[in-house]
Amino acid sequence: MKHFREQLIQTVGPYLVAVVILLLLRSTGLAQTVDLLLYDLITAQRPSPSGRDTPITLVGIEESDIQRFGWPIDDGLFCQAFDQLNTTGVEAIGLDIYRDKGVGPKQQCLRDRFRDEPTLVSIFNVASGIGPVPGTPAERQSYNDLSLDADGVLRRDLVHVTGQDEATVSFAMRVMEVATGDRRLRNAMDDGSHQDAWLSADGGGYHNELDAGLGLQRLLRFREPGSYRFYSLAQLLDGDVPSEAIRDQIVLIGSTAPSLRDLFNVPHTRFRQSEEVFQVSGVEIHANRVASLLDHHNGTLNAGWIMPGWGNLSLILLCMASGILLGEKVPTLKRSVLLVVTLSAVVAGGLTWLLWQHIWVGIAMPTFGLLSMGGAAWLRRGAMSQQHSQQIKQLLGQTTSPAVAQQLWDQRDELLSDGRFDGRQLPVTVLFTDTANFTTVSEGMSPRELMDWLNRGMEVCVPAVTKRGGMVNKFTGDGMLAVFGVPLEQDSKAEAQAAIEAAIEINAGLEQLNKELLEDNEPKMRIRLGIHSGDALVGSMGSTERIEYAVIGDSVNCASRLESLDKHRHEGVLRALISSTTLELLDPTFKSSLDLEDWGPVQVKGRAEPLLVSELKMDIAPGAAEATQP
């Protein structure tokens, strides 16, 4: 149960961490910040049409007007301005100045104008509780409330709030209707038949930013900032505005002086380099809103599209699944990283291109989802790789060659099951050794000296095996069991030859070792060796407390019996007996190069059929030929 929990944590843990990170990115607003930043960048860099291409003219109250006329502006001056505009034949006049309370001695004049002139539109503000110019008919009243995002940037247009009384119409909508005499667009919005790129709570790059009950909102379309025809109030009052310049125009009057603080941060603000913070006046914001409605009315507006919340969620889940798939299934980690990073760049780039085309889909969360899940998969694979590496080292220790270790690593998923090697039957060649005369030698040495003496012999035997891809499966006191052809199935002929080549190298190594032992006044070392080929059952054996890689079968027993056969028949430093089963696997050319002495059929213990045995004759060093009992 403990192992299962550890396995579960290792498998699921990285993904849980990735999900938590994604939730934090969303809940803290970081993902939305990235999306809005990208939106602002695209909006600022994308070419915008000029305001001069619209029938809208702005009359601004500038700092010079305030110095000349004072603030607040006298109602009588506004009456004079309205009369001049109406004389030239304007379509509509929108006053973006609060006048719920009159200013100056001609307050009634202003109220009369708004009551009687069909071109005039008055504003009120719902949020601040400011009313319209008294006496203005309901059909020419409007609210000028704007929707700011949490970061103080104006990106959205509150186009219309359905289900309200006749007076509660947006300033832009009212001005458009007065200018065109057409209210079909508002009617379509009221009855739900008008389709548009409306924003929702999780639409586009917004994450629960919008109040769903606040009405029909869409992204504000900007003309090139500062491109509308513009005159100051003083120019209008002084008669410096040509009649033909404003005939049949929609005129919006509002404050543009910085001291009046009717300025807004817009998407362009971050990306306009100037000494002062770039902001757009409220009257120009309303001009953009009116221009969009006129484009709607004329059928020239590319409304674009906003991905709804469910669509964003679906895309996020798809990207997360793609991250998991690419992170888990791509064979090599390097290629997996390359594919995930490339796909993330494609997703982010593609969604950014769509945003350029006025199609807004959340960019940050899908991209983060793909990267985070891919990263979780890499982390899980890394942890599993580390675990597999430890398992392989635990199962095989230092007994395999680097080449075989690499093969094990490459095929670990096929070989390992729950941290163990599955049982398999493989054709192998077994090499079994034992030290001759060990009992006699051990009587004349201390335990430490004896262990050092044995290890010097193993330093000759082990490399001869492992450098040829063999595995030293276990040490048997004063000998070893080595196997060629495990844990991966190999070419049986090549493994048989490798075992014999290892025996030849062991012989040469013992010759050199005995020269050194003679110089150190230590006993000579002589080894018996048996080699046999056949099938063996291989795999992990043991419990959770003790586990080892086991090699079991007749081939192991036969190699052991050959090693111990007729111990008195031993010439030289190494006696190597080889079964005919192994010799039959050898390439004829290689076999013919060997000096073999035929021992004939030999009956070995535990086997019904006799074995045909040959001794591999080695060059015998002088003085090393005496035969001794073990």
Reported as a single tens digit per residue, the pLDDT across 203-220 is 999 987 666 457 899 999
Highest averaged pLDDT of the listed ranges 286-295, 413-422, 423-432: 286-295
What residues pair up with 542 in beta bridges, in sequence order? 547
Structural domain ending residue among the three candidates 275, 305, 335: 305
Q: How confident is the model at residue 396 (pLDDT cuts 50, 70, 90)?
A: low
- Average pLDDT (604-629) is 65
303: Cβ–Cβ under 8 A, 6 or more apart, which residues?
196, 197, 218, 296, 358
Q: Looking at the domain assignment, is residue 299 inside a domain?
A: yes
Are 229 and 111 contained in the same domain? yes
Q: Is the pLDDT of residue 627 over 50?
A: no
What is the rounded average pLDDT of the residues 114-141?
96
Q: 90 and 101: one domain?
A: yes
Residue environment code for 273-303, b if the CB has 16+ CB neighbours within 10 A, otherwise e: eeeeebbbbbbbbbbbbbbbbbbbbeeebeb
What is the pLDDT averaged over residues 368-376?
95
pTM: 0.68
Residues 327 and 347 in one domain: yes
- The pLDDT score that the predictor gives to residue 630 is 36
Instruction: Assess contact for 253 and 96: CB atoms under 8 A.
Output: yes
Question: Which secondary-structure segment (H or E) carries 533?
Answer: strand 527-542
Which of these ranges, 170-174, 283-287, 463-467, 546-550, has the smallest mean pLDDT?
Answer: 546-550
Is 234 within a domain?
Answer: yes
| Higher-pLDDT residue of 198, 477 | 198
Q: Which residue has the higher pLDDT, 214 or 192?
A: 192
Residue ending a domain, among 305, 328, 343, is 305
Look at strands 574-579 and 611-616 and give their pairing: antiparallel
Sign of CA dihedral 494, 496, 499, 504: negative
Rounded to whole angstroms, the Cα distance separating 619 from 467 reads: 23
Q: What pLDDT does residue 275 have?
A: 73
Average pLDDT over residues 337-363: 96
Residue 41 falls inside a structural domain: no
Is residue 264 located within the same domain as residue 411?
no
List phi, psi (to 5°) of 151.
-90, 10
Q: Beta partners for 229?
A: 57
Give the domain CATH number at 602.
3.30.70.1230
Residue 578's DSSP bridge partners are 531, 614
Could you tell me which residues come within 8 angstroms of residue 523 by beta carbon, excluding any fewer than 6 positions away? 437, 441, 444, 445, 453, 517
- The candidate with the shortest Cα–Cα distance to 365, out of 18, 13, 2, is 18
Does residue 215 sit in the same domain as residue 92? Answer: yes
Q: Are residues 181 and 136 in the same domain?
A: yes
Same domain for 206 and 323, yes or no, is: no
Q: Does 28 fall in a domain? A: no
Residues 337 and 471 in one domain: no
Yes or no: say if 124 and 130 are a contact pair by the CB < 8 Å rule: yes
Residue pLDDT, tens place only, 272-306 = 877 788 999 999 999 999 999 999 999 898 889 99
Percent of residues, the chain, with pLDDT higher than 70: 88
- Kindly state the average pLDDT of the residues 602-606: 79
- 629 within some domain: no
Whether 324 and 462 map to the same domain: the answer is: no
Q: Determine the Cα angle at 102 with ends 99 and 108, to 5°.
A: 110
Whether the pLDDT of residue 626 is over 50: the answer is no
Last-in-domain residue among 278, 305, 332: 305
- Regarding whether 250 and 115 lie in a shared domain, the answer is yes
Name the strand (E) or helix (H) holding 474.
strand 471-475
Residue 419 has a pLDDT of 55
DSSP string, 337-383: HHHHHHHHHHHHHHHHHHHHTTEE---HHHHHHHHHHHHHHHHHHHH
Report the domain count for the chain. 3
Q: Omega of the bond prior to 14 within 30 degrees of 0, cis?
A: no
268 and 349 part of one domain: no
Sign of CA dihedral 364, 370, 371, 376: positive
Residue 16 domain boundaries: 2-23+308-390
* Residue 13 DSSP SS3: helix
Check residue 381 and give its pLDDT. 83
User: Looking at the structure, do residues 343 and 439 belong to the same domain, yes or no?
Assistant: no
> Is residue 530 assigned to a domain?
yes
